[in-house]
Structure 1
Amino acid sequence: MNERAKILDGRRILVVEDDYLVALALSTVLEEAGAHVVGPVASAEEAVALLEEGRERVDAAVLDVDLNGETSYPVADALASRDIRFVFATGYGIDAVAEGYRHYPRCQKPFDHRAIFKALKG
């Protein structure tokens, strides 16, 4: 087993991403790093519902900022209120993230996998 395969071993990572191919690629990379992927889910409403139901343990999350024209900020708020680490993902610069959310970790698309792993591990 290589070093990358151990980095997220046993962690349950929620993926909130509206682009199927991006979600699939990200999920594959996370699983190769030892994580169990929760989702992926494509909408903020679905992700918040998943968190509120509490049937799935979530250790960390990757949130696409723009989900088909809506933001993932409600998910970020739900995660922050539960002290669950998350990272925003965006293909745009820092200006794509609302000012009140800029203090959270952000990874640029296309993803640098090491940066995602580091942000999720803390």
Structure 2
Amino acid sequence: MGQGTELQGRRILVVEDDFLVAQALCHLIEEAGAKVVGPIGWADQALAYIGSHEEDFDGAVLDVDLHGEKSYPIADWLAEHSVHFVFTTGYGADALDPAYTRYPRCEKPFDPR
């Protein structure tokens, strides 16, 4: 992320339930020139936020598993509103529900490139 300017000036919502991972991810996003929105660690809080703050962000990073709940309802909302997002997971592609494998995915631990 740090090399290009693709994120320069963007507002990226971070939905991640692990504090240390969220902290590292936020740092990477800020280094790439974007503003971090969040992080938010719970699926229900993220859904409530996006529904009432859709003008506050223009992209998102979603942890697939949030305290045992899947982030798919958040992904559905983002897709319906044409907001670009990427899933993050500590597991391989086979951990995603088949309906969501068409979306970009980044495996943890993160590679800054």
TM-score normalised by structure 1 residue count: 0.85
Cα offset for 1:45?
1.0
| Deviation larger for 47-56 or 28-37 | 47-56
**Separation (CA, whole Å) in 1 of partners of 2:108 and 2:54:** 30
Structure 1 vs Structure 2 CA RMSD: 1.5
Give the SS at the match of 2:3.
helix
Please report how far the alpha carbon of residue 9 of structure 1 lies from its aligned counterpart in structure 2 after TM superposition.
Answer: 1.2
Query: What is the distance in 2 between the residues matched to 1:47 and 1:103?
Result: 22
Deviation per residue, 1:66-117 (Å, 9 max, x gap): 1111011011011011100000000101111101111100111111222xxx
User: Contact 1:4–1:32 at 8 Å: present in 2 too?
Assistant: no
- Which structure: greater helix fraction? 1
Is there any run of 5+ residues in structure 1 with no aligned partner, and where?
115-122
In structure 2, stretches of 5+ residues that fail to align are none
Which residue of 2 is the match for residue 25 of structure 1? 24
Off by >4 Å, runs of 4+ in structure 1 = none
Contact 1:5 1:32 in 2 (8 A): no
Q: Residue by residue, what CA displacement relative to the aligned partner does 1:2-42 show, whole Å, maximum 9, x if unpaired?
A: x7374411100010000000000000110011110010000
State percent identity of aligned pairs.
Answer: 58
Question: Which residue is 1:73 aligned to?
Answer: 72
Identify if the C-alpha distance between structure 1 residues 102 and 55 changes in structure 2 by more than 3 Å, giving closer, same or farther.
closer
